[in-house]
Amino acid sequence: MKLFVAGLPYDFDDTDLKEMFELYGDVVSAKVAIDRETRKSRGFGFLEMSAALEAKEAIDALNGARLRGGKELVVREAEEKPRDNSGGGYRPRR
């Protein structure tokens, strides 16, 4: 199950995110969003857990929690980004 996590401390990296959720089960992947220009965390990320039950336990435990007295975490199932076929790829002129 894929999860969205917001309210992360700005010094959090992929490893920190993974370790936080490994308390609840197997983490397949974890990625903190990084600003392209500043190369710093944007305060949110995504991860995938192998078992839905473990992911739900993590949501119940961590949603609304505060890390280091910071912002409240928002932890929820990630929404699938709809794919549009508008492209962005090369299209030759007619």
Which is it for strands 2-6 and 27-34: parallel, antiparallel or unpaired?
unpaired
pLDDT mean values, one per 10 residues, the chain (94 residues) = 96 96 97 94 97 97 90 94 62 62
Could you give the number of structural domains in the chain?
Answer: 1
The pTM (predicted TM-score) of the whole model is 0.82
CATH number reported for the structural domain that contains residue 57 in this entry? 3.30.70.330
State the residue range of the domain holding 24.
Answer: 2-77
Determine, yes or no, domain membership for 91: no
18: phi then psi, degrees, rounded to nearest 5 = -60, -45
